[in-house]
């Protein structure tokens, strides 16, 4: 996975997760009357779980790409430089710089998810700003706040998970190599158990006659 592709995948994952977390929060506030009278929602949150699942799937692919890129950049035969050797790692500062793009994708995700939900529930689009789930300023402010928190937390969490996976793989491989070098079993087998093909000549050179053949 190239660094640019990794950042795009992270943006998609963070934007979808942010939309899935912020949308029910905004709609709950709207339905409780926090924003005053008015119809701000479609009274349905059926799009939340599918969106959250898609975001987590993209986050998993992001971690898989980081781990794979790490071993390509720093093979196990040398001391690996972990994630930062791959140039695909995403520090928090780099993730924050992606916030404008992530927020734009988050709002686009919200619009698409809410529009699909309205078509599924009502059979038609409800129009206006119902897809925002609340007054425009309040909804966008909440989405921006949740988006910032998700970007920071997700960048740290996915980096930590990827580091843990790399550490486990390297530790297991080192354990296997150490066991192979310390175990006397291969040497003992080579010493006391002759190869399969070496037994036939030994039988042919042994003195004496062969055992009688059983006749029926």
Q: Provide the b/e sequence for 66-101 (b: ≥16 CB within 10 Å).
A: bbebbeebbeeeeebebbebbebbbeeeebeebbee
Return the pLDDT at 67. 81
Backbone angles phi, psi at 125, to 5 degrees: -75, 140
Return the pLDDT at 69. 76
Return the pLDDT at 80. 47
Return the pLDDT at 33. 82
Q: What's the N-to-C CA distance of the chain in angstroms?
A: 72
Return the pLDDT at 213. 53
For residue 128, give Cα distances in angstroms to 19, 48, 116, 133, 188: 19, 21, 15, 11, 80
List the chain pLDDT tens, one digit each, 216 residues.
566 788 889 999 999 999 999 999 999 888 888 887 777 777 778 888 999 999 999 999 988 888 887 776 655 444 445 455 444 567 788 888 999 999 999 999 999 998 888 888 777 787 778 889 889 999 999 999 999 999 999 988 988 888 888 788 878 877 776 665 555 555 544 555 555 555 555 555 555 555 555 554
Q: Where are the domains of the chain?
A: 3-179
């Amino acid at each position: 996975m190239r660094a640019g592709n990794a950042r795009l995948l992270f943006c998609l994952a963070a934007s979808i997760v942010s939309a899935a977390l912020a949308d029910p929060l905004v709609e709950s506030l709207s339905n409780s009357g926090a924003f005053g009278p008015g119809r701000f929602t479609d009274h349905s949150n059926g799009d939340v779980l599918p969106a959250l699942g898609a975001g987590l799937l993209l986050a998993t692919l992001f971690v898989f790409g980081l781990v794979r890129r790490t071993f390509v950049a720093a093979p196990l035969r040398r001391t690996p430089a972990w994630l930062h050797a791959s140039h695909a790692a995403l520090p928090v500062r780099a993730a924050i710089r992606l916030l404008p793009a992530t927020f734009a994708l988050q709002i686009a995700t919200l619009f698409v998810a809410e529009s699909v939900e309205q078509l599924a529930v009502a059979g038609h689009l409800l129009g206006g700003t119902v897809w925002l789930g609340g007054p425009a300023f309040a909804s966008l402010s909440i989405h921006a706040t949740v988006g910032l928190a998700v970007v920071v937390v997700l960048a740290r969490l996915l980096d930590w998970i990827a580091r843990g996976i790399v550490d486990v793989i390297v530790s297991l491989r080192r354990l296997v190599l150490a066991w192979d070098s310390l175990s006397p079993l291969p040497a003992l087998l080579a010493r006391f158990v002759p190869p399969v093909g070496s037994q036939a000549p030994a039988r042919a050179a042994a003195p004496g006659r062969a055992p009688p053949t059983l006749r029926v």
